[in-house]
Amino acid sequence: MHGTSARKNKNARPAAPPRGGKAGEPLAVLDLGTNNCRLLIARPAARDRFRAVDSFSRIVRLGEGVAASGRISDAAMDRTIDALKICAQHIAKSGARHVRAIATQAARLAGNSDVLVARARAEAGIALTVISAEAEADLAALGCAPLIGHKYEGALIFDIGGGSTEIIHLRRGTKGGFDKIFAASLPYGVVTLSENHGAAAQSRAGFETMRAAMTERFAPFAAEGFNPRTEHLLGTSGTVTTLAALALGLPRYNRTKVDGSWHDTSQVTRIVERIAGLDTPALATLGPIGPERADLMLAGCAIFGAICALWPSRMLRVADRGLREGMLRQLRQELGQ
> According to CATH, where is 3.30.420.150 located in the chain?
135-319
- The CATH label, of 3.10.129.10, 3.30.460.80, 3.30.420.150, 3.50.40.10, for the domain at 135-319 is 3.30.420.150
Average pLDDT over residues 29-56: 90
At residue 232, the pLDDT reads 97
> According to CATH, where is 3.30.420.40 located in the chain?
2-132
Dist. CA 228–CA 159, nearest whole Å: 19
Q: Which amino acid is at 77?
A: M
Question: What is this structure's pTM?
Answer: 0.83
Dist. CA 40–CA 24, nearest whole Å: 15
CATH superfamily for 2-132 is ATPase, nucleotide binding domain (3.30.420.40)
Length of the chain: 337
CB 143 within 8 Å of CB 324: yes
Query: In the chain, what percentage of residues exceed pLDDT 90?
Result: 74
Q: What does the buried/exposed string (b/e) look like for 211-240 if buried means 16 or more CB atoms within 10 Å of the residue's CB? A: bebbbebbeebbeeebeeeebbbbbbbbbb
Mean pLDDT over all residues of the chain? 90
The closest alpha carbon to 107, from 77, 146, 147, belongs to 77
Dist. CA 230–CA 247, nearest whole Å: 23
Q: Which amino acid is at 148?
A: I
For 160-199, how does the pLDDT look when each residue is reduced to its tens digit (9 = 90+)?
998 999 999 999 987 778 999 989 889 999 999 999 999 9
